Amino acid sequence: MIKNLLLEHFEAYNARHCLFTHQDKILLAVSGGVDSMVMLSLFIEGGYNVGVAHCNFSLRGKESDEDERSVELQAQNYNIPFHNIRFDTNAEMERTGESMEMAARRLRYEWFDQLCASEGYTHIAIAHHTDDSIETFFINLFRGTGMRGLTGITRQRGNIIRPLLFAERKEIHEYAVAHHIPFREDSSNRTKKYLRNKIRLGLLPLIREISPRFTATMRGNIYRLIETQRFIEAAISNIKQSVLISEQGVDKILVSKIDSTYPQEFVIYQILSSQYGFKGETVDELYKALKANNTGKRFYAKEHMACIDRGDIAICPIADDDPCQTTIEREQLRCYCGNSILYFEHTDIDNITDYRSPAEVAYIDEQKLTFPLTLRRWQEGDSFIPYGMIGRKKVSDFLIDQKVSVAQKSRQFVLLSGQDIVWVVGRRIDDRYAITKRTEDILKITKQTL
């Protein structure tokens, strides 16, 4: 009965949302855990044309190898294609400065795209379920988000589909046990080191004690939030027709044309975030500058620059010769830096257990800093005292010594306190701002490539 019900719900969910057909060739991302192994079973039971992709991130030694072998055996049992790859995730983290989650996610999806191109897969199926979507809601809520971030996990984006979002973790586990589907338990799922696990293992069980129907309630809440977001997107699309114009490669939001019955700041946020990739904190600062009529002040997203232009907002792609200069306030948590993001964490010396770090991470003596800091592309004439050296060195000479290519040089940023370069971003801090035995407060800055 469990098997039939879950399969019926699986087919009904797909039919309702038109996720895939029997004519599609679907790549299933299978880790070996219960969710993805059950997803594999449902696709096989439904008679679909599928192949299996498994990533070994080499993070859990023998356990990772056993996961790989388990998935391979199940693919062999079903007589379907099995694709596997091994990543040196730790080396990639050191190279890019990304967190483990960011590096693994990027590596995984890049490989999936390659498989789709080479093997003709039309869709990539991921085994996220209702509980995953609820956890994502809380993660985004705690980090700060707009309406879009409260809609949980998207059931389809491009060729990526999530056909198990209708199901709860409990249902999936019961299906696997009742029908003897092999699966592996990931030991990292039991640690509270990660925010998602803290929510899953700590917060949500407490909420369910208060509200036993919490999962069903949240499923309904997320559905209504999704519908609300759809309504907002439709409304913003209509508003843009009258307030967003384009002239000679520059887009402009005509602020005065935003109907006074609409919340002006919200409309501006929706346009800048959805169409141009601006983050909430940046839009907040931009709106303050707009209300203060700071004509000419610039703000940056990954690929676009916005500036205040006599009461309107002008947006254009970032020019090659744009210094991309922006300020960083003490309370700021992140900012764009070319094709990367800088994350700022204020801590104290007792929280640092290992001062060794990749070049993408900088530990700065915060007591020596003067806020706001300035971030910009390096310029001819810039100089600093590289960590471990005594005399000054021109940034241009330093980059030559580091064998930095011409293309990389054009994208090199520096972080300044007053007129001093504190960090040649992603390469070397200034010796004057390094941690000493007298340091108490530390600003940890992490560069993550997008």
Whichever domain contains 429, its CATH number is: 3.50.40.10
Q: Are residues 269 and 412 in the same domain?
A: no
Q: Are residues 41 and 177 in the same domain?
A: yes
Both tokens assigned to 113: 């795209």
Q: Assess if residue 208 is contained within a domain.
A: yes
Q: What is the largest CA-CA distance in the chain?
A: 76
Q: CB atoms < 10 A from the CB of 244, how many?
A: 17
Q: Are residues 428 and 302 in the same domain?
A: no
Q: Assess if residue 231 is contained within a domain.
A: no
The predicted structure's pLDDT at residue 196: 85
The predicted structure's pLDDT at residue 249: 86
Q: Are residues 149 and 210 in the same domain?
A: yes
Domain boundary among 268, 292, 317: 317
The predicted structure's pLDDT at residue 355: 63
Q: CB atoms < 10 A from the CB of 401, how many?
A: 10
Q: Are residues 59 and 182 in the same domain?
A: yes
Q: Are residues 48 and 140 in the same domain?
A: yes
CA proximity to 339, closest of 262, 277, 259: 277
List the domain range (segments joined by +) for residue 171. Answer: 2-221
For 68-91, b where at least 16 C-beta lie within 10 A, e where not — what string? Answer: bebbbebbeeeebbbbbbebebee
Q: How would you write the pLDDT of the chain (450 residues) with one tens digit per residue?
A: 455 789 999 999 999 999 999 999 999 999 999 999 999 999 999 999 999 999 999 888 888 899 999 999 999 999 999 999 999 988 887 776 667 787 889 999 999 999 999 999 999 999 999 999 999 999 888 877 778 888 889 999 999 999 999 999 999 999 999 989 999 987 666 666 678 889 998 999 999 999 999 999 999 999 999 999 999 999 999 999 999 999 888 999 999 999 999 999 999 999 999 899 888 888 998 999 999 998 988 898 888 999 999 999 999 998 888 889 989 999 888 888 877 889 999 988 877 766 667 778 899 999 999 999 999 999 999 999 999 888 999 999 999 998 888 877 888 999 999 999 999 999 999 999 999 888 989 999 998 776
Q: Are residues 192 and 271 in the same domain?
A: no
Residue 41 belongs to domain with CATH number? 3.40.50.620
Domain boundary among 280, 300, 317: 317
The predicted structure's pLDDT at residue 450: 64
Q: Assess if residue 240 is contained within a domain.
A: no
The predicted structure's pLDDT at residue 315: 96
Calpha distance 284→225 (Å, rounded): 23
Domain boundary among 269, 299, 317: 317
The predicted structure's pLDDT at residue 102: 79
The predicted structure's pLDDT at residue 398: 95
Q: Assess if residue 229 is contained within a domain.
A: no
pTM for this one? Answer: 0.71
Q: Are residues 41 and 16 in the same domain?
A: yes
Q: Letter for the amino acid at 196?
A: R
Q: Are residues 310 and 394 in the same domain?
A: no
As for how many domains the chain has, the answer is 3
Q: Assess if residue 161 is contained within a domain.
A: yes
Q: Are residues 68 and 217 in the same domain?
A: yes
Q: Are residues 55 and 165 in the same domain?
A: yes
Q: Are residues 304 and 378 in the same domain?
A: no
